[in-house]
Amino acid sequence: MKRTVPDLGTVIGWGYDEHNRVTEELKMAHMPVVSNEQCLRSYPNFFSQFTSDGTYCAGFRNGTSVCNGDSGGGMVFKIGEAWYLRGIVSITVARDGLRICDTKHYVVFTDVAKYLNWIRPIVN
């Protein structure tokens, strides 16, 4: 599966909601993939530490995002009638002085496609 900017991925999770509380209902959001360059330019001090060839960034930077409790969840893409896992929620910027996500920043995802040579022998 080829990922291209700005494809919209779908994320679901039970993480914090807009009121900074763990949600009682499963939430879903769509987030666009952004280029690594755009991600790095948005907050160089943070993203230069956490992005690599094995990651990608996504998000709107408008409050629609993943948050605490969503780490490890997937970003999936629908191609035809099938859904494909492409990313795993890894890390996002925390709000100043708090241990809560800042939804005004992009999110770093582990790029599953970059690890297929390791994954395939394990699942076979």
Residue-wise pLDDT tens digits, 12-48:
999 998 888 888 899 999 999 999 999 999 999 999 9
**Residue 37 within a domain:** yes
CA atoms of 74 and 62, how far apart (whole Å): 20
**Residue 49 within a domain:** yes
Chain centroid to CA 43: how far? 16
Is the pLDDT confidence value at 87 over 90? yes
Q: How many domains does the chain have?
A: 1
Q: Domain range holding 37?
A: 8-123
Confidence of residue 79 (pLDDT cuts 50, 70, 90): confident
Widest distance between CA atoms in the chain: 45
Which residues lie below 8 Å from residue 31, measured CB to CB, with a gap of 6+?
Answer: 8, 9, 11, 58, 59, 60, 64, 65, 66, 75, 107
**Residue 61 within a domain:** yes
CATH number at residue 58: 2.40.10.10
Structure confidence at residue 40 (pLDDT): 97
**Residue 1 within a domain:** no
**Residue 3 within a domain:** no
**Residue 41 within a domain:** yes
Residue-wise pLDDT tens digits, 95-115:
988 889 999 999 999 999 999
Averaged pLDDT, 78-90: 93
H or E segment at 45?
Answer: helix 44-50
Torsion of CA 42, 43, 47, 53, to 10 degrees: 30
**Residue 2 within a domain:** no
Residue-wise pLDDT tens digits, 55-64:
999 999 998 9
Structure confidence at residue 17 (pLDDT): 85
